[in-house]
Amino acid sequence: MNSRKLRFSWLGFVLAFVIAASVMAVGCGPSLSYNSSALAEAQVGVAYSASVATAEGADDISYELKDGSTLPEGLTFSNGAISGTPTAAVSEKAFTVVATSGDLKAEAEFKITVKAAAFAYVGEEVSVVINTEANLSLATATGATTVTYTLKSGTLPEGLTFDNGVITGKATALGSATVVVTATATGLTPIDATWTIKVTKPVITYANVTAANGNVGAYYTALLATAKGASNITYAVEEGSELPAGLTLETDGLLHGKPTANGSKTFNVVASADGYESATATVNLRIRAAQEPDPGEGKLSYTGGKLDDGMEGIRYAKLESGTGVAVASTDNYGLVTYALASGSTLPAGLTLYENGALYGFPEKVGSHSFSVTATGDGCTESKTVEFTLKVLEPRLPIEAVVELKQATVGTPYSDSIAPADAAMEITFTAKTALPAGLTLDPDGTLHGTPTASYRSITFTAEGTAEGFSPATCEVAMVVKDKEIEIDGGKMEAEYIDLTGKVGAGYSGAANDEQLVQPGAVLNASNDFYIGYTHCVIMLEFKFISSKAASNVKINIGLASELGNVTFTPNEFDVMLNGQAISYGKFEIKGGASEGSWGNFADFTVTNSAALVEGENTITLMVKPNTFLKGQSTGGPGIDYVKVTTDATLRWTPCLYNTRGR
């Protein structure tokens, strides 16, 4: 009896131990942790993406919506990734996701709010200048990522064309037109906007002027001809405005005369030209009291010589004291007056004023000599000296080098090489090849839609005008590639901006595009890579992220001609937005023989990088090392940088780096 009780108790003890051990084993085994959260807000009509793949505690986790759970209309679910364009507003839509890894499961509830569409399109009054290349955008709708624009009604001014919200061409007549443009975006109600397009005259620009001070009784000259934007500009005092007493304004902008009253005077001057909108500038001028002559006898010094050359028909102005013929001085600071010496003649078209100002428009080519007499107040004697002035054939006022604004491939472009204030009508022709897709008009307007990019391109243009010798100019500009979405997150190294980069190889150097090398035989992605990195060199991969993102994977493609070599952060830095990434090491295999290249291979830098919304930069830097025998630094061949994330990435590649290779 006792024996049976003992055996029974022993058996119970064993069973209890087994059960306890099983419970302990379950408690210590793998578990799946999955937390609920609210997702970023979405908006009707705007592309959206988010990830709910946030479970932890196991590998190879899969995700699916729990039976009965649904997403807001327009969004789809794919193994933890939510994407699409919402089509209806909803407040805190809740749904449950099931995370599964083998026999393990966990659930989490997520909430998402979809805001109502903010799609808006408002027209306004805009203007273009007659006979000038237009590049006017009416594509101003907000609240959607991809919008198309169509001309619903109305007729554009003659000479203009409409293409998906952009107006180009040259308007041929003054006036205005009203058009209705429809903006359309997927899943949203189209919106109409009414636009008024005015065709205006070109505008003269004329800034306010502060003229030099004058003195009562002393002859005064000042040039107010500072307006720009047209040739043959004329000047007049605005109606109702008054000049200082004793002064006259000529139509060519010369203000001159003997002031008769002291004080500060403000007056307005109107600049006008046929076919242009006039402009008005305010002029401030102070007239001081007459100078008292210094007592005692003074001595006057005056020396002649060669004057600056002039050009036939082009304004010649030496108005300031100390310039031209007004170079006399007195030791008693007495006022000096000037006059043409008896029997002497100025070059035709020029006038000598009492204060020594030499001004006008020379009429005859050639060398001219004339004499001027200077007289100083309180000085015992006057002096007469001779000057020479050469009048040259007129040259066009074209700069030897003209730099135009930057253009972008695929975007309508317009700029001008013509001087803004030329006093003659210049006709331009291209003497060398223009950037692809662009045309040079006779008036100097370079326009069109660029079809190829250039880090820098120069072409030669010639200007001609009646009565002038032809003149040429070198025109320089940059045409950048358009921003595109990065396919698969891979940025090819051969397409980064290499401007100013200088590298070194075994026996030579390379700079800019020369760093790019053919690499098809080395299995280089896209058949090119960056070489010549045997020096301290820094290369930047710049891109735009649609949002802030975490757990981002970064890979790079590398090869070696250094033999089998291991790079660590001591020899090769990888930085994201200025912060170094500790990647461990890259073990790169070289070629079969010393100094030969091995094939490119893919290396993981990190699986946990964080991007910021907007611009990001991944920097690769070869640091001083001893890998290259006989030289201070050895570097790898660099093929690409690849960024894996659920954010949308965009960049501007430099496709010109491989053009023609």
Q: Which residues contact residue 10 at a Cβ distance below 8 angstroms, ignoring those fewer than 6 apart?
A: none
Q: Over 60: is that where the pLDDT of 11 sits?
A: no
20's enclosing H/E stretch is helix 2-28
The CA distance from 629 to 378, in Å, is 85
- Cβ contact 587:618 at 8 Å: no
> What pLDDT does residue 231 have?
78
Q: What is the pLDDT of residues 229-287, one digit of tens each?
A: 887 899 999 999 999 999 999 999 999 999 999 999 999 999 999 989 999 999 999 99
Beta-bridge mates of residue 574 = 620
> What pLDDT does residue 229 have?
82
> What pLDDT does residue 232 have?
85
The CA distance from 20 to 652, in Å, is 64
Q: At CA 137, angle to CA 133 and CA 142, rounded to 5?
A: 175
DSSP 8-state code for residue 607: E
- Cβ contact 638:556 at 8 Å: yes
Both structure tokens of 174: 């003054």
Both structure tokens of 227: 């307006």
Residues 368-396: what's their mean pLDDT?
Answer: 93
In terms of residues, how long is the chain?
661
Place of tokens 């901006």: 497
> What pLDDT does residue 65 have?
95
Q: What is the pLDDT of residues 536-582, one digit of tens each?
A: 999 999 999 999 999 999 999 999 999 999 999 999 999 999 999 99
Sheet order of strands, 133-137 included: 133-137, 166-170, 160-163
- Cβ contact 566:587 at 8 Å: yes
The CA distance from 537 to 503, in Å, is 7
For residue 26, name the pLDDT band (cuts at 50, 70, 90): very low
Question: Helix or strand or coil: residue 547?
Answer: coil
> What pLDDT does residue 375 have?
95
Place of tokens 């070869």: 622
Residues 619-630: what's their mean pLDDT?
Answer: 91
**Residue type at position 39:** L
The CA distance from 419 to 605, in Å, is 53
The CA distance from 206 to 76, in Å, is 60
Q: What is the pLDDT of residues 526-537, one digit of tens each?
A: 999 999 999 999
Question: Which residue did the predictor score with more confidence, 469 or 491?
Answer: 491
For residue 296, name the pLDDT band (cuts at 50, 70, 90): low
> What pLDDT does residue 17 have?
41
Three-state DSSP string of 153-205: ECCCCCCEEEECCEEEEECCCCEEEEEEEEEECCCCCCEEEEEEEEEECCECE
- Cβ contact 105:99 at 8 Å: yes
Place of tokens 């180009």: 168
Q: Over 80: is that where the pLDDT of 7 sits?
A: no
Maximal CA-CA distance, the chain: 160
Q: What is the pLDDT of residues 97-110, one digit of tens each?
A: 999 999 999 999 99
The CA distance from 345 to 338, in Å, is 14
Q: What is the separation of C-alpha 367 from the centre of its chain, rounded to a whole number of angstroms?
A: 48
484 half-sphere exposure, CB direction, 13 A CA radius: 16
Both structure tokens of 176: 């205005």
Residues 429-433: what's their mean pLDDT?
Answer: 97
The CA distance from 336 to 322, in Å, is 12
Q: Over 90: is that where the pLDDT of 660 sits?
A: no
For residue 20, name the pLDDT band (cuts at 50, 70, 90): very low
- CB burial of 411-440 (b: ≥16 within 10 Å; e: otherwise) equals ebbbbbbbbebbbbebebebeeebbebbeb
> What pLDDT does residue 29 have?
58
**Residue type at position 242:** E
Question: Helix or strand or coil: residue 416?
Answer: strand
Q: Over 80: is that where the pLDDT of 617 sits?
A: yes
Q: What is the mean pLDDT of the chain?
A: 90
Portion of the chain with pLDDT greater than 90, in percent: 78
Q: Over 80: is that where the pLDDT of 632 sits?
A: no
**Residue type at position 95:** F
What burial class does residue 50 get, using C-beta atoms within 10 Å of its C-beta: 0-12 exposed, 13-18 middle, 19+ buried? middle
Q: What is the pLDDT of residues 348-365, one digit of tens each?
A: 999 999 999 999 999 999
Other Cβ atoms less than 10 A from the Cβ of 482: the count is 13
Q: Over 50: is that where the pLDDT of 19 sits?
A: no
Q: What is the pLDDT of residues 163-202, one digit of tens each?
A: 999 999 999 999 999 999 999 988 788 999 999 999 999 8
